[in-house]
Amino acid sequence: MRCSVLIVSYNTCQLTVEAIASVMHEPEVETIVVDNASHDGSADAIAAQYPSVRLIRSERNLGFAGGVNRAAPEASGEHMLVLNSDARLEPGALDLLLQHLNSHPRAGLVAPALRYADGRAQASAFVFPGLLQIALDLYPINRLMDSRINGRISSTVPRQVDYPLGACMLIRRAAWHDVGPLDEGYFMYLEEIDWCRRARAHGWQIWHQPRAIAMHHGGSSTSQQPDAMFAQLWRSRLRYYARFHGPTYNRVVHGLVRLGLRRRAGAAERVRQLSA
């Protein structure tokens, strides 16, 4: 088995079916789906339409990291493709990703370029986040948001990066065993950044292969609970900075976050008053 596809699903029934369909025709590929206690009929639909898929019905929502970690021990492929339930591979993409891993022995992970459903390019390769990225997220400057200054990497040729967007990642099994599973302390968000940071510390390379394309809707699960997911995003960010940076750095982080969130809350209140 050359590849195991790992998909974590939560109330994204039709999109999950499309994600599965995008890999079912691939030779020597198995698909494992962890359904995180969906209540939209996802598990039953997957079982009915794709009986060959290994379906794991979780009794509770394990989060993204927990779902991937639940699926990984069941995988028998040489490599593991972590694919979001709202993403799908374009034809030929998996072969390009597999070829890249096979030709670069120290590549622990390779990810494709991403496109939105309407064909627009989606940021998919990044440098590790820092104080400048926090500042721009809280105090956005439009002309800088898609630039290298905000951590975005744009390339038309394969290149090493710090980390990809986690919607689609092909991971070498040897790297997974060396680095360890995703950190389940991140219920959602930043788990791929944490893993890539640990992988690089172990001497593994992280690659972006722009010739391979995946379509990614983005936010299909998290948009179901926007307020809770916004809070979860910042919990994950603060966990990441605490883990990889020192006390002084984190004091600056917390100061920026407090000021930025206070500013956002004030703006929201002004909008509410104007509406009233």
The domain limits of the chain are 3-220, 227-275
User: Architecture of domain 3-220 in CATH?
Assistant: Alpha-Beta Complex (3.90)
Q: What is the mean pLDDT of residues 240-248?
A: 96
- The DSSP call for residue 236 is H
Q: Which residue has the tokens 């006390």?
A: 247
Determine the distance from the C-alpha atom of residue 170 to the mean position of all C-alpha atoms in its chain, rounded to a whole number.
Answer: 11
3-class secondary structure, 19: helix
For residue 242, which phi and psi values (nearest 5 degrees)?
Answer: -65, -35
Yes or no: say if 170 and 110 are a contact pair by the CB < 8 Å rule: yes
Q: What is the pTM of this model?
A: 0.91
Amino acid identity at 252: V
CA distances (Å), 15 to each of 46, 112, 167, 276, in order?
11, 19, 13, 38
* % of residues, the chain, pLDDT over 90: 80
Provide the token pair at 249. 């750095």
Checking if the pLDDT of 105 tops 50, the result is: yes
pLDDT category of residue 260 using cuts at 50, 70 and 90:
confident
What average pLDDT does the structure give for the chain? 92
